[in-house]
Amino acid sequence: MVCKAAMGIKAAAKLRFPSSAAAASTARSRLKPWMVRATTTVLLWTCVVQLTAVGNTWGPRVLKGWPSCRTAREAAAVTTARVAMPEAVVEKAALPPKRIYRNNGYLMVSCNGGLNQMRAAICDMAVIARYLNVTLIVPELDKTSFWNDPSEFQDIFDVEHFITSLRDEVRILRELPPRIKRRVELGKFHSMPPISWSDISYYHKQILPLIRKYKVLHLNRTDARLANNGLPLEIQRLRCRVNYDALKFTPQIEELGRRVIRILRQNGPFLVLHLRYEMDMLAFSGCTQGCNPKEAEELTRMRYAYPWWKEKVINSFVKRKDGLCPLTPEEIALVLRALDIDKNMQIYIAAGEIYGGKRRMASLTSAYPNVVRKETLLEPSDLMFFQNHSSQMAALDYLVSLESDIFVPTYDGNMAKVVEGHRRYMGFKKTILLDRKLIVELVDQYTSGSLRWDEFSSLIKAVHSNRMGAATTRTVIPDRPKEEDYFYANPQECLRDPNLLRTS
């Protein structure tokens, strides 16, 4: 429109003053203010339209003074609709207040081992950081273990929740501040493994001075570095808070875990069997019960291939008799039958690939046809992003194990212990803690024909009647902390009803 108006004025000027150049110049000079006003008006209205669009996003507070394009009737109709259908208000959980303290330095942590070994270490290191008044850098996870999992902390755990949920206790950063990071790159830090099973005084007397000296301390092995017992109550309870509240898996892992649980629940109750009859565990423990000579040789070669597996020459027969081997699929099938576990019960296998495959699983699947695992319950596409990430796959099994009607570990590894403790914390959910030494003795008597089935079943039931995950006090063994009950298997200081505790 502005252009058309300008052209019209020029045409009129030419008609009225066709031969006067001076007159044309005068017309152009009169035209300029009009053009400026027209252009300014167009720009202003463009701004109004843009601001109105933005106002729909930012809300009425931005443009509440502008007139509405709606009629009074339309406005009244919209208001009525809003009153009739109020918008849902999603309230965010209130964050705890930040803890203000003088920062003594920075603690870097490299965890070692599998998922649950690292999980317990993360809890301990967060507690240590809090009581030393240092800033914890989000822990680095082990990528060099047997499982060779490249997952970072944020690939397994909800890192934002971890940081914010503990902000009233300890300052946690994703990475070092730039100035401190440059110091580390120049090698101006100290790295060491702390002493195992140490109490908090060790960290105050030995570790804190190093942090003050170097500003940055890197602890490069963190499993079992804090004592089970003899610690102040507030430290024990903070360990629980980190473990059960702050350490949540990523939303993707949590959602897939819930889906597996829903599928299982649709078909009735289910038992989770942590069947630790996997190649790495058999090689590590030297247990070859039921293996053929070729398999036994393969497991031995694997044990020698890993220098950090210290024990090399192992007598499998003696170790099994001492109850130090994972139960085989054949042995656990007999135990479940002896405990009168319904043959139609769903048996969810929380483990990696079973050594020997279908051949070794035949006894168990024959006794319990409804043996399932995540790979059979989900589509391959569901697990596509978890493949070759053993810790993320273990996290799925962990979630399912927590919610099972019965949890049965066949070996007392880290997952068995941490799940056992978590289920105690949740209210003493049924966890059958198998007496492997007695079981292998009874199994051998039964299979040799010296013990009838009814006798075998009665003895198995009697032995395990008080091994169902009930509340119990931890066993304390002075000067032998490795033989004590593990804190994360029995966090008695955190149980909701401590009056239920009984002496083990």
**Alpha-carbon span 190 to 178, nearest angstrom:** 18
Query: pLDDT for 361-408, tens place per residue?
Result: 999 999 999 999 999 999 999 999 888 899 999 999 999 999 999 999
**Alpha-carbon span 447 to 456, nearest angstrom:** 10
Give mean pLDDT, residues 426-443.
96
**Alpha-carbon span 309 to 119, nearest angstrom:** 21
Surface-to-core class of residue 449, CB atoms within 10 Å of its CB (0-12 exposed, 13-18 middle, 19+ buried): exposed
User: Among candidates 113, 143, 141, which has minimal Cα distance to 413?
Assistant: 113
**Alpha-carbon span 14 to 21, nearest angstrom:** 10
Characterize 103-126 residue by residue with b for buried, 16 or more Cβ atoms within 10 angstroms of its Cβ, and e for exposed. Answer: ebbbbbbbbbbbbbbbbbbbbbbb
- Do the Cβ atoms of 373 and 354 come closer than 8 Å? no
Strand, coil or helix: 142? coil
Give mean pLDDT, residues 214-240.
96
Of 64-78, 193-207, 488-502, give the range with the top mean pLDDT: 193-207
Q: Output the pTM of the full model.
A: 0.80
pLDDT above 60: residue 36: no
User: Among candidates 382, 383, 422, 376, which has minimal Cα distance to 399?
Assistant: 422
Give mean pLDDT, residues 87-107.
82
Surface-to-core class of residue 226, CB atoms within 10 Å of its CB (0-12 exposed, 13-18 middle, 19+ buried): buried
pLDDT above 70: residue 170: yes
